[in-house]
Each structure stands twice: as C-alpha cells, then as structure tokens.
C-alpha cells in the first residue's frame, strides 16, 4: 500500500513484535482503518503469509481495495463488524489465525468526515455510525439525544463517557430539545459547552469530549461488540498464536484486561505496553494508547457468556 494515503498507525512496531508476524502464517486485522497495521503485516509475512482485514467504514474499505491487486490472494478485505468475527472467518475459508489484531482507536480520517458526525469541532449530522454495519438497528446520536429520557442520558454520559457533569448535561439537553430538536454536531457541542463552561474553564479537553465519546460508544455498540469479539477471537486463534489489542480509554482497557484474565489458564499474558516518548511527540493521539497481548498455549474453546443485548449502559 502507498504509505502516503495511510492514517498513522499507533504502536506499529510494538504491535508487529507482539503479533510475531512471519512468512507463511495467517493474520486477522479486525480493524482495518487507515490500513497501516494491515500493510505492515502483509510486508512482514511476505511472500506467502495471508491477511484478512475487516472494517465497517466504506471509505476505509474503498481506499484499501485500491491497493489489493498488489497482494493477490494473500489479502482478503471484508465489510464486517468485528462482533461477527466467526462469520467473517468462515467466509474467508481460514479456520484459524496465527495472529489477530484490534486497534480500537477512531482514525483521524473518520473524525474529520463531517458525514459521520463524530467531531464536536466539525459540523455534521448527529449520526455517529462508523458505517452501515456499525449497528444492527440504525440507531443514531440524534435519536439518543432527542428521545432518550433524562435519566437514560445521565446514565449514558456517566457510564460511557465517565462525565462528572452527566446530570447537568442531560438536564440541559432535555430542556433545550423541548423547544428545538438537535440535528447537528456543533449545535449539540455548543449546548454542552454553555452548560458546563465554568467547570471546564481550566481543563485541557473540550467540554463536549466525554459526552460525544459516550454517544459514539452507544451508537456503535462498541463495548458489547468488543466483549463478543474477544471471546470469538480466542476461538479463532491457533495454538501458539497471539491476540493483540490496542485500546485508548479505560472502558475498553478494562474489558480487555478482564477478558485476558478469563483466558489465563490457557494463555500467557505479558505486561501491557505503552507508546514511547518519541512516538507521543510525533503523534500526540498515541498518548492514551495501551497495548495488551495474550499468547495462546492450547486450543480450548472459550465458554464465557456475553451479557444480554442492551443499548443503554
């Protein structure tokens, strides 16, 4: 792939080392995104390694397919939510993988796409779906902020955004929508900013940061999808294979840490890895990243039960 069109991947060297990429093996990149990790796996596994890359973002998929011919049948690309790993693996024809990677960060390309409505700094529709397959019910951020109760909003912002002023923000949204519904991202961001400006006056982040995070997680059902995907990834991982997850906030990392703990009788779990000081200087968005890896030592199937499907936290 042409590196000029790729989003800058976080902890690229560390993730490749943790995956132990080598020729002749099969790999699954569950979060294609800008393609940086997939590109490096293809390079390191040449000439006969194979990669299956998944994503729900049509733009990311289209960009990647422009480069697919260079790799022939070594590379398969699918539009698929990683909660459906088993279906994707079956369709690929590969029953097991020697390495599986999840990069849970939202790319700069996605944040800057106004049609997705993910940014509180760029005006766009209050959608927040990462792609048509990002959820199963068509839920959008507009539906949540305009129709969920004040209690549900407060619980959402507190649980998924870890927002200290969740109650105030929820109350402000409900009061405002009684006169005019929310349709645009900047409108919602400004409403939140006005409500909590004093509290965030000396803060380093925008007052809407945590609320937008909570909405995005709920719309894309990210946490339940991650729980399902981690369990299924362990079933798809070949003995002596490695599962690598890069997370960017504590909610994700707690799920990963807990899942790896459940797998520990059949695995080895090294200490988590954080980005180098040099990488953070070159790419500030890497500062919150944490990489965890689990090495599978047997082929035992996982029997952990995921919670019932629920939109609200």
Query: Could you tell me the CATH number of the domain that includes residue 278?
Result: 3.40.50.150
Residues 78 and 16 in one domain: yes
Does some domain include residue 303? no
Higher pLDDT pick, 69 / 107: 69
Q: What is the mean pLDDT of the chain?
A: 90
Does some domain include residue 170? yes
Asked whether residue 207 carries a pLDDT value surpassing 90, the answer given is: yes
Higher pLDDT pick, 1 / 221: 221
Mean per-residue pLDDT for 53-79? 95
Instruction: Tell me the two tokens of residue 261.
Output: 């703990």
The reported pLDDT for the residue numbered 308 is 39
Does some domain include residue 305? no
Mean per-residue pLDDT for 131-135? 88
pTM score above 0.85:
yes
Does some domain include residue 157? yes
Residues 204 and 167 in one domain: yes
Which CATH number does the domain housing residue 152 bear?
1.10.150.170
Does some domain include residue 123? no
**Residue where one domain finishes, among candidates 217, 236, 252:** 217
- Residue 173, domain extent: 136-217
The reported pLDDT for the residue numbered 312 is 56
Residues 34 and 183 in one domain: no
Residues 228 and 158 in one domain: no
* Position 305 confidence tier, pLDDT thresholds 50, 70, 90: very low
Asked whether residue 118 carries a pLDDT value surpassing 50, the answer given is: yes
Residues 55 and 186 in one domain: no
CA distance 208 to 189: 6
Mean per-residue pLDDT for 171-184? 97
Residues 97 and 232 in one domain: yes
Asked whether residue 28 carries a pLDDT value surpassing 60, the answer given is: yes
* Position 313 confidence tier, pLDDT thresholds 50, 70, 90: low
The reported pLDDT for the residue numbered 304 is 46
Does some domain include residue 100? yes
**Residue where one domain finishes, among candidates 153, 188, 217:** 217
Query: Could you tell me the sign of the dihedral formed by the alpha carbons of 292, 298, 299, 301, in that order?
Result: negative
**Which residues are within 8 A (CB) of 187 and not within 5 positions of it... i.e. 6 or more apart?**
none
The per-residue DSSP string of the chain comes to --GGGS---TTHHHHHHHHT--TT-EEEES--TTSHHHHHHHHHTTTT-EEEEEES-HHHHHHHHTTGGGGGGGEEEEE--GGGHHHHHHHHT-S-EEEEEEE-PPPHHHHT-TTTT--SSS--BS---SSTTS-SS---HHHHHHHS-HHHHHHHHHHHS--TTHHHHHHHHHHHHTTS---BHHHHHHHHHHHHTTTTTT-SS-TTHHHHHHHHHHHTTHHHHHHHHHHHHHHHEEEEEEEEEEE-SHHHHHHHHHHHHHTGGGEE-PPPB---HHHHHH-GGGGG-EEEEEEE-S-PPP-PPPPPP-S--
Does some domain include residue 307? no
The reported pLDDT for the residue numbered 92 is 94
Residues 95 and 231 in one domain: yes
Does some domain include residue 198? yes
Residues 182 and 248 in one domain: no
**Residue where one domain finishes, among candidates 178, 193, 217:** 217
Residues 105 and 7 in one domain: yes
Residues 196 and 232 in one domain: no
Structural domain count, the chain: 2
| Residues 240-266 pLDDT 10s | 999 999 999 999 999 999 999 888 766
Residues 94 and 152 in one domain: no
Residues 74 and 169 in one domain: no
The reported pLDDT for the residue numbered 106 is 86
The reported pLDDT for the residue numbered 202 is 73
| Residues 2-17 pLDDT 10s | 444 445 789 999 999 9
Higher pLDDT pick, 253 / 108: 253
Higher pLDDT pick, 121 / 170: 170
């Amino acid at each position: 792939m042409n590196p000029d069109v790729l989003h800058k991947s976080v902890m690229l060297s560390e993730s490749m080392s943790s995956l132990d990429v080598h020729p002749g093996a099969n790999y699954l990149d569950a979060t294609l995104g800008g393609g940086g990790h997939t590109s490096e796996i293809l390079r390191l596994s040449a000439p006969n390694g194979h990669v299956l890359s998944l994503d729900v973002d049509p733009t990311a998929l289209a960009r990647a397919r422009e480069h697919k011919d260079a790799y022939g049948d070594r590379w398969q690309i699918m539009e698929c939510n990683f909660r459906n790993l088993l279906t994707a693996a079956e369709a690929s024809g590969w029953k097991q993988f020697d390495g599986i990677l999840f990069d849970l960060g939202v790319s700069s390309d996605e944040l800057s796409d106004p049609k997705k409505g993910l940014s509180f700094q760029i005006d766009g529709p209050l959608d927040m779906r990462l792609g048509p397959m990002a959820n199963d019910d068509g839920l959008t951020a507009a539906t949540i902020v305009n129709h969920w109760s004040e209690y549900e909003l407060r619980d959402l912002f507190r649980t998924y955004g870890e927002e200290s002023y969740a109650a105030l923000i929820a109350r402000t949204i409900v009061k405002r929508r009684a006169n005019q519904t929310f349709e645009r991202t900047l409108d919602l961001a400004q409403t939140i900013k006005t409500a909590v400006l004093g509290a965030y006056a000396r803060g380093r982040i925008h007052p809407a940061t945590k609320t937008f995070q909570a909405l995005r997680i709920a719309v894309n059902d990210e946490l339940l999808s991650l729980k399902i995907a981690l369990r299924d990834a362990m079933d798809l991982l070949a003995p002596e294979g490695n599962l690598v997850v890069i997370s960017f906030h504590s909610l994700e990392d707690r799920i990963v840490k807990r899942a790896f703990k459940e797998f520990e009788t059949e695995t080895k779990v090294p200490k988590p890895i954080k980005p180098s000081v040099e990488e953070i200087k070159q790419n500030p968005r890497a500062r919150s990243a944490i990489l965890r890896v689990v090495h599978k030592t047997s082929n035992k199937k996982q029997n952990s039960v995921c919670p019932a499907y629920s939109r609200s936290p």
